[in-house]
């Protein structure tokens, strides 16, 4: 249930709310989490530059979730740098099913995201204090 609370918070649900479709084995519920992950805009975390023809450009291009056989990869696509795998702990692990691999990858991603979000907010607050 601990992972459910982590996912629930990421999805913006009230902490006491248990989504009626919640289950480690419910694709519909899990795919809504995957879609949110893939829709995140993390440009503010990446470096940027000015292009005289098109304006401000960011290194961030998007997050992709790939599910194949009994593995799941979540990686960030970047404009100028090689893409990198976010779920390093789980992407090489072999699971009994696709949904187990996806569930664990999603949990690992959310922990990664939360850690960076806290660091990002802290750096903004430190910069405001200057």
**Which residue ranges make up each domain of the chain?**
2-129
Secondary structure letter of residue 45 according to DSSP: G
Contact between 60 and 43 (Cβ < 8 Å): yes
Q: What are phi and psi of 9, to 5 degrees?
A: -65, -45
Contact between 67 and 97 (Cβ < 8 Å): no
Q: What is the pTM of this model?
A: 0.83
pLDDT of residue 14: 73
pLDDT of residue 124: 46
Task: Give dist(CA 71, CA 95) in Å, integer.
Answer: 7
pLDDT of residue 63: 96
pLDDT of residue 116: 85
Kindly list the averaged pLDDT for each block of 10 residues, start to end, along the chain of length 130.
82 72 79 96 90 93 95 94 92 92 96 83 52
Contact partners, residue 110, CB within 8 Å, separation at least 6: 6, 7, 10
Contact between 56 and 46 (Cβ < 8 Å): no
> CB count, 10 Å around CB of 82?
8
Distance of CA 26 to the CA centre of its chain: 19
């Amino acid at each position: 249930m601990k992972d459910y609370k982590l996912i629930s918070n990421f999805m913006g649900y009230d902490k006491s709310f248990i989504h009626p479709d919640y289950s480690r084995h419910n694709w519909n519920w899990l795919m809504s989490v995957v879609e949110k992950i893939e829709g995140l805009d993390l440009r503010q975390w990446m470096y940027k530059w000015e292009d005289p023809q098109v304006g401000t450009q960011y290194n961030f291009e998007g997050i992709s979730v790939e599910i194949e056989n009994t593995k799941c990869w979540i990686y960030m696509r970047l404009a100028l740098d090689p893409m990198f795998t976010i779920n390093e702990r789980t992407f090489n692990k072999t699971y009994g099913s696709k949904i187990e691999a996806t569930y664990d990858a999603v949990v690992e991603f959310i922990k990664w995201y939360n850690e960076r979000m806290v660091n990002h907010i802290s750096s903004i607050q430190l910069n405001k204090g200057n």
